[in-house]
Amino acid sequence: MALPELLPILVIALYFLGTVLFVVGSALRNEFLKNTALGLAALGFALHTLDLAQFLAGAEAARNLTAGRFLFCLLGWGILFIFLLLWWRLKLKFLAVVAMPLALVLYITANATVGVNTKLPPMLSGLFFFLHIGTLFSSMALLAMAFGAGLAFLHLEKRIKAKAGLKQFQKDMPSLDTFDRVNHFVALCGFPLYTLGLASGYVWAWLSARRVFSLDPKEIVALIVLGLYAYLFHQRLAMGWRGRKPAIMAICVFLLTVISMLGINFLVPTTFHGFKP
């Protein structure tokens, strides 16, 4: 079997084994299993990077940028990259329980969408691709981490308020303050990236079709996400918002981006951004 055909199998296997080992290691409070899981995820990430590089090589590189397989592959890669960055920056190993399954699901989805493409014209390549798709995906990857941290925050806070005995698994979880720091980091970095991505999309729309906004469902949801993201950004940085409310807001914003990426792109035939064979 040639390497290009073997890569997806290896990446899926490494991500799956890493996810299982990390969950089991967390439940058993076994650092060796968790570190082994992270090592498998890192190896899978390296092979995932090699797989992505194949799309950007050769004469078909510009066309490959609008392939469904490349876009989902890129988003899964971005989520794992952001996790590795947060692990290095905040020492937050626990977020692997969110990052690895999401990377696995998105990579499987990528391989299930072979032959599916967006309707975006070739003009969206090069600089505009990285300004629009790159920044939006980076923001979504950050939101995925805030989503995981938010769920963990709400669960741990509920157990603490109920004065319920924490299981051994939960005793290994970081403090509420650590999860709140993830939310703060995401708001600080993610909102400017999302704003840049959305603005570049409107600039591209004006240059290519002399229009800035239409009633495209994708654009409407994107503006709703921008408004909620802006509110989270303002409340965190200007008003000192902390704890439960920003955690809930981050969860909602992430779920809206998932609806936009999966629901609208696949299920709404009228959207300009839809995936088509």
Same domain, 91 and 114: yes
Q: Which of 85, 102, 118 is the last residue of a domain?
A: 118
Same domain, 74 and 169: no
Determine the pLDDT at residue 276.
54
Determine the pLDDT at residue 231.
92
Same domain, 252 and 177: yes
Averaged confidence pLDDT in the chain: 80
Same domain, 82 and 137: no
pLDDT, tens digit (0-9, with 9 covering 90-100), for 76-88:
999 999 998 888 7
Determine the pLDDT at residue 63.
64
Domain range for 147 is 124-277
Determine the pLDDT at residue 159.
73
Same domain, 160 and 255: yes
Same domain, 101 and 139: no
Assess contact for 28 and 124: CB atoms under 8 A: no
CB burial of residue 15 (10 Å; 0-12, 13-18, 19+): buried
Determine the pLDDT at residue 176.
77
Confidence of residue 154 (pLDDT cuts 50, 70, 90): confident
Residues 6+ apart with CB under 8 A from 271: 216, 217, 218, 264, 265
Same domain, 153 and 193: yes
CA gap 273, 131 in Å, rounded: 16
Q: Which of 56-70, 146-160, 189-203, 229-243 has the lowest mean pLDDT?
A: 56-70
Question: Shortest CA distance to 98 belongs to which of 82, 112, 111?
Answer: 82
Same domain, 138 and 240: yes
Assess contact for 84 and 142: CB atoms under 8 A: no
Determine the pLDDT at residue 19.
94
Determine the pLDDT at residue 47.
93
Confidence of residue 167 (pLDDT cuts 50, 70, 90): low
Across the range 11-31, mean pLDDT stands at 90
pTM here is 0.82
Same domain, 93 and 225: no
Same domain, 103 and 142: no
Indicate if the pLDDT at residue 43 is higher than 80: yes
CA gap 258, 272 in Å, rounded: 17
User: Between 252 and 211, whose confidence is greater?
Assistant: 252
Residues 6+ apart with CB under 8 A from 167: none
CA gap 11, 60 in Å, rounded: 23
Q: Which of 12-16, 155-159, 269-273 has the lowest mean pLDDT?
A: 269-273
Determine the pLDDT at residue 172.
55
Q: Which of 81, 101, 118 is the last residue of a domain?
A: 118
Q: Which of 118, 142, 164 is the last residue of a domain?
A: 118
Indicate if the pLDDT at residue 128 is higher than 80: no
Same domain, 24 and 99: yes
Determine the pLDDT at residue 7.
85
Same domain, 168 and 50: no
pLDDT, tens digit (0-9, with 9 covering 90-100), for 175-229:
778 888 888 888 899 999 999 988 887 777 677 666 666 777 777 888 898 999 9
User: Between 170 and 204, whose confidence is greater?
Assistant: 204
CA gap 156, 166 in Å, rounded: 9
User: Between 11 and 70, whose confidence is greater?
Assistant: 11
Number of domains the chain is built from? 2
